[in-house]
Structure 1
Amino acid sequence: MADKTTPERRLKNQAILYADCSVCDMQDKFAPAIWQFDKVVLTTQKVLRAAKILNIPVYVTTQNAARLGGTVAALEPLLAATGATTIDKTRFSMWVPELARHFASTAGSAAASAAESPAQCQVVIAGIESHICVTQTALDLLAAGHDVFVLADGVSSCNEQEVPLALARLRAEGATVTSSEGWLYETMGDAGIAEFREIAKLVKETNADTKTALSALLSKM
């Protein structure tokens, strides 16, 4: 018997955090210091394009932008297209009061419609550094009651050996470590949703970049 239910997304209350923080961050000035930096950029570009299609809110942080500069130029057009919220900070974790207020505002409306409080979000993290900003952000989000997805093909550190250590710790703490493509299909959950064709097209267009990023960034896992 055919499935007669209305197609809907599997993951419905999402936000994407682009961890652009710490001294060695996703800014052009520090690109040479990050292991496989260009591969992180490739994955983040795909994720941001998906966020635009799926209408998922994006939050990006910068670390002391007045001194260290803004987000890497290759991502700026995509961040603008998604209407990303940018927050400058000095704290390593992205879970600063301003970001928490954004979540409280979004979660508040979601909670009201679901008669729940507080609402739980599925938060996707990409960026650097795995063992510092990404880890501290994930731990804070977990403590705040959110589900955390860390994209293994979208995070890195200055020292490549730090990456598997950080991801292993985050798994143990309760975060979901997955790939960008795995996250995309889990988000959709059903080929019948309206955005499926666009996402399938995006996956096909970025197939070579995905293979490159996975081969490089997961080589130490």
Structure 2
Amino acid sequence: MARLGRLCPSRSVLLLCDLQERFRPIIHCFPQVVSAAARVRQGCQALGVPVLVTEQRPEVLGPTVPELGVQDLPKHPKTSFSMLVPPVQAELRARPQLSAAILCGIEAQACILQTTLDLLEQGLDVHVVVDACSSRSPMDRAVALGRLQQSGAFLTTSESVLLLLLRDCAHPCFRQVLQLIKEQVPGRELLMGGPGGL
């Protein structure tokens, strides 16, 4: 039977990868990526989806950018490209009901790709939020998204992933999430098939 890629808040986790200060001037469409990731983060937290945050060598690359809105969450430092460092693995093991991971961050061809492969190996569905993922090079981003899809990840958008989690406009958080969707529209530069897209 084909994998459908459904999402349920109680069986999902959001991973935010390395959205740090030193990347701000060099990542393609960085402000749009952070905005989309913040939208997913806000929606997930409203829906009770746990959020895990990593930082790549924070002593060199600086802290997570404040506009992501994760000041109160633990940041897991790493040197590996994959986010699945021991503290993150421990968080995942503590939630045996997990079936899906939602992934935002940078860079698509490095940390996003290697994190996705590790999560897929563990049997989780991986939803890569394409308007919340980027790279220094638009070409690397585009090729990485194709590679992620070939490997079995679901490519999605910030709006689609939040609606999948909601499932019904009768959900008590619908108006809150709808407001997030209305307020923030992804930049054209990150649309699939647009400049820097596939």
TM-score of the pair, normalised by structure 1: 0.80
1:191 aligns with 2:169: yes
- Deviations for 1:151-205, whole angstroms, at most 9, x for unmatched residues? 1101000111011111111111111001110111111111122111211122122
Displacement, 1:10?
Answer: 5.2
**1:64 pairs with 44, 49, 57, which one?**
57
RMSD of the TM alignment (CA)? 1.6
1:95 aligns with 2:63: no
What percentage of residue pairs aligned between the two structures are identical?
A: 34
Distance 1:31 1:148 in 2: 25
Aligned position for 1:111: none
The question of whether the paired residues in 2 share the 8 Å contact of 1:120 and 1:145 is answered with no
Aligned residues: 188
**1:146 pairs with 112, 124, 129, which one?**
124
1:152-163 map, 5 Å:
152-163=130-141
The question of whether the paired residues in 2 share the 8 Å contact of 1:10 and 1:190 is answered with no
Larger Rg: 1
**2:94 pairs with 75, 90, 105, which one?**
105
- Deviations for 1:65-113, whole angstroms, at most 9, x for unmatched residues? 12322111222xx213xx5332001001001121111111122xxxxxx
Distance 2:73 2:99 in 1: 17
1:42 aligns with 2:35: yes
The question of whether the paired residues in 2 share the 8 Å contact of 1:87 and 1:98 is answered with yes
Aligned position for 2:3: none
The question of whether the paired residues in 1 share the 8 Å contact of 2:28 and 2:137 is answered with yes
Could you tell me which runs of 5 or more consecutive residues in structure 2 were left unpaired when the two chains were aligned. Answer: 1-5
**1:15 pairs with 13, 28, 37, which one?**
13
- Deviations for 1:141-160, whole angstroms, at most 9, x for unmatched residues? 00011110001101000111
The question of whether the paired residues in 1 share the 8 Å contact of 2:44 and 2:162 is answered with no
Q: In structure 1, the residue corresponding to 2:49 is in which secondary structure?
A: coil
Aligned position for 1:4: none
**1:84 pairs with 57, 70, 73, which one?**
73
More helix by share: 1
Could you tell me which runs of 5 or more consecutive residues in structure 1 were left unpaired when the two chains were aligned. Answer: 1-8, 21-25, 108-118
Which moves more between the two structures, 138-147 or 192-201? 192-201
| C-alpha distance 121-170 of structure 1, shift in aligned 2 (>3 A) | same
Distance 1:193 1:52 in 2: 15
Distance 1:147 1:85 in 2: 24
Distance 1:87 1:181 in 2: 27
| C-alpha distance 142-177 of structure 1, shift in aligned 2 (>3 A) | same
Aligned position for 1:115: none
**2:180 pairs with 198, 202, 207, which one?**
202
1:177 aligns with 2:177: no
Distance 1:103 1:195 in 2: 25
1:164 aligns with 2:142: yes
Q: In structure 2, the residue corresponding to 1:161 is in which secondary structure?
A: helix
